[in-house]
Amino acid sequence: MEKRTFLRSSLLLVTAAFSQPSKLWSATPNPSFDVTDEEADEQTTGPFTLPALGFATDALEPNIDKMTMEIHHDRHHQAYVNNLNKAVVNTPFAAMTIDQIMANVKESDTAIRNNGGGHFNHSLYWTLLTPKGSNAPTGELAKKIDAKFGSFDKFKEAMSAEGVGRFGSGWAWLCVGKGGELVLMSTPNQDNPLMKNIVKKQFAHPILGIDVWEHAYYLKYQNKRADYLKAFWNVLNWDEVGKQYDMAKAKM
Ligand code: MN
């Protein structure tokens, strides 16, 4: 190809790429990519709605900053809700609760898996955060944590290691597993331990979830995920984890 022709063809290709970004980027959705503004802005109607935060977006400062909370809740979670509402149309999932969706979703239900997981996981995450509250477990849960991990500090180290060790995007979980045992694990993307068709033998009830996607911490902590995980313990509401423990225990 003559040089001039080659240059013109290249320019045309680049122009085409930039004039049709949605076609290029949405053809094969990749769960490791984050949401777009279009997905967050879209007005959908459907069975699922964004739950309100129980506190102001700046209430977790300096541990989690206001802008991260605004974007994370108002943009990312809203987009999961919007995409989930679209994905359930004309499927049996439309008549299910979010818990039933978690129990029935399969690997091949890609949009439901990613956005249903995103909706469930974030709905739990917001309720676990608080500007004030009990900063250590109490009662039976405290005893279980000591028995399983040696001490509360050792538990925090082990759970932080799950979060740091998760390659790419995902979640670290403290769960109630078989026989009421406490189990630590992490899952990729927006999966969670309630997706029994996907996690198989790792099925368990999550009582504490830590979002380790970059969107949960990058504005303040950049690449330092471990620093975000350290700060997370300052805004975790153990009263709420205790309630989740009681509910999960009754189901196992
Ligand atoms: Mn998130």
Output the CA 7–ligand 1 centroid distance in Å.
42
pTM for this entry? 0.85
Q: Residues 111, 198, 251, CA angle at the centre, nearest 5°? A: 110
Domains of the chain (ranges; CATH) run 139-251 (3.55.40.20)
pLDDT at 11: 46
Express the helix, strand and coil content of the chain in percent, nearest 5 each.
60, 10, 35
pLDDT value of residue 65: 98
Q: How far is the CA of 56 from the centre of ligand 1 (A)?
A: 17
Q: How far away, in angstroms, is 105 Cα from ligand 1 center?
A: 20
Taking the centre of ligand 1 as the mean of its atom positions, its distance from the CA of residue 83, in whole angstroms, is: 15
* Contact present, 163 and 210 (Cβ < 8 Å): yes
Can you give the pLDDT of all 252 residues of the chain as single tens digits?
A: 445 544 454 444 444 444 433 333 333 344 445 778 888 888 778 899 999 999 999 999 999 999 999 999 999 999 999 999 999 999 999 999 999 999 999 999 999 999 999 999 999 999 999 998 778 999 999 999 999 999 999 999 999 999 999 999 999 999 999 999 999 999 999 999 999 999 999 999 999 999 999 999 999 999 999 999 999 999 999 999 999 999 999 988
Helix axis angle for 139-149 and 152-165, nearest 10°, is 70
Centroid of ligand 1 to alpha carbon of 12 (angstroms): 37
Q: What phi, psi does 127 have (nearest 5°)? A: -70, -20
Q: How far is the CA of 47 from the centre of ligand 1 (A)?
A: 21
